[in-house]
Structure 1
Amino acid sequence: MSWNDFYQRQQALAEVLDNARRDLAAAFATVPGPFRDVDELLAALHHKWMQQLTGRVDVALTDTESAPHGDRVEAVTRAWRNAAKENSGLRAALDVHADHPALDEPTAREHRVLAVAAGLAEEHEPPHDIARVGRAFLQLLRATPDPEQQARPSRLRKLIPSF
C-alpha cells in the first residue's frame, strides 16, 4: 500500500464516520472507493477502533503497575469506556454491524485482548476460552453504569436541609 492509498483510506474512513454521525444506516449504503466491499470497510473500522483501544489500555496498565493498589480490571474498564466515549461514532458504527460476519474474528481478537489485559485470562489458554471470558467481561462492563456518568447531586441540594 502506498502512502497515497493510505491517505485515501483514512479520508474515506473519516467520511464514513462523519456520515454515520448524521445517519448511521445511510453511512454504509455505499462503500467508498478505496474499499472493495463492506467487509473490508468494517475490518478497517475495527482496526481503527483497536488502535484507539489498545493505546488506552497500554497507558492504563502502565499507570496501574506503578500504583500501590492497582486494579487491572478497573484500568481496562476505564480505558475501554474512555475509548468508546472519545470515539462514539466509530463505536456506534461497529455496534450496529456487530452481527456482520466480517467482524467475527476482529471482535474475538478484541475480546482476547481485553481478557488478557484485565488479568482474567492467560495467553497460553485456548483462544476460544480467552475470547469467551473477554466477551463476558465486555458484556458486564457495558451493563454496569459508568460511575463518572451518573448524575451527581447538585451542591445546592446538599445545602438544603431535609424535612
Structure 2
Amino acid sequence: MSWTDYYRRRDALDAVLRAAAGNPAAPLTFDRDLFATEDDLLLALHYRWMRQLTGRLGTALEDSDDDRVETVTRTWRALAAEQPVLRAVLDAHLTVPEALEREQRLLALTAGLADLSEPGEDVAGVGAAFLGLIRTGPAAVVPGRRRGLAKSA
C-alpha cells in the first residue's frame, strides 16, 4: 500500500465515523473503491481500535502499579470514552467472529485472566465475560488474582 492509499483509506474511515456520529447504528456509507464490503470497512475500523487499545494497554501497564484487571478496565473505558463513535459503530455493526475474539483474547491475556497455554476459544470466552464486566460494572479486582502480576502480556 502506498502512502497515497494509506491516506485515502484513513480519510475514508474518518468520513465514515463523521457520518455515523449522529446514529452509529444506522447503515454505513463508505467508498466501495477502497472497501469492497462492509466487513472490510469494519475490519479496518476494528484494526484502528485495536492499534490504539494495544498501545494504550502497553503504556498503562508499564506506568501503573495497580492490579492488571483494574488497569485494563480503566484503559479500555478511557479509550471508549475518547472514541465513542468508533466504539459505537463497532458495537452496532461488527460481527466478524475472528475480530471480536481477537479483542477478547487481548483483554483476557493482558489482564492476566488467561494464559497463552490455554485453548484460544477458552481465552476468548474469558475475554468475552471480562469485556461484559468492563462495559457494565465498576472496576474491581477479580478474586484470586494477585496485585503486581508481571507487566508483560
Query: Structures share a fold, TM > 0.5?
Result: yes
User: 1:2 deviation in Å?
Assistant: 1.0
2:77 is matched with which residue?
81
83, 86, 99: which one aligns with 1:106? 99
Distance in 2, Cα, partners of 1:25 & 1:127 = 30
Which residue type is aligned with residue 74 of structure 2?
A: R
Which residue type is aligned with residue 30 of structure 2?
A: V
Distance in 2, Cα, partners of 1:25 & 1:110 = 20
Distance in 2, Cα, partners of 1:145 & 1:77 = 9
Change (3 A) 1:25 1:111: closer
Which residue type is aligned with residue 53 of structure 2?
A: L
Q: Contact 2:108/2:124 (CA < 8 Å) preserved in 1?
A: yes
User: 1:143 deviation in Å?
Assistant: 1.5
* Between structures 1 and 2, the one with greater helix share: 1
Gaps of 5+ in 2: 141-153
Change (3 A) 1:141 1:77: same
Gaps of 5+ in 1: 148-163
Q: Contact 2:25/2:93 (CA < 8 Å) preserved in 1?
A: no
1:122 aligns with 2:136: no
User: 1:22 deviation in Å?
Assistant: 2.3
Aligned to 2:44, what secondary structure does the other structure show? helix
Which residue type is aligned with residue 85 of structure 1?
A: A
Q: Contact 1:19/1:27 (CA < 8 Å) preserved in 2?
A: no
User: 1:21 deviation in Å?
Assistant: 0.4
User: 1:145 deviation in Å?
Assistant: 4.4
Percent identity over the alignment? 50
The TM-score, its normalising length taken from structure 2, stands at 0.85
Give the RMSD, CA atoms, in angstroms.
1.6
User: 1:26 deviation in Å?
Assistant: 4.4
1:50 aligns with 2:50: yes
Q: Contact 1:57/1:79 (CA < 8 Å) preserved in 2?
A: yes
Q: Contact 1:16/1:27 (CA < 8 Å) preserved in 2?
A: no
Which residue type is aligned with residue 85 of structure 2?
A: G
The TM-score, its normalising length taken from structure 1, stands at 0.80
Q: Contact 1:116/1:123 (CA < 8 Å) preserved in 2?
A: yes
Change (3 A) 1:146 1:117: closer
Ranges of 4+ aligned residues in structure 1 off by more than 4 Å: none
Larger radius of gyration: 1
Query: What are the equivalent positions in structure 2 for 1:9-158 lying under 5 Å apart?
Result: 9-26=9-26, 28=28, 30-32=29-31, 33-64=33-64, 67=65, 70-98=66-94, 100=95, 103-145=96-138
2:143 is matched with which residue?
none
User: 1:31 deviation in Å?
Assistant: 2.7
Larger RCO, structure (CA 8 Å, separation 6 or more) = 2
1:154 is matched with which residue?
none
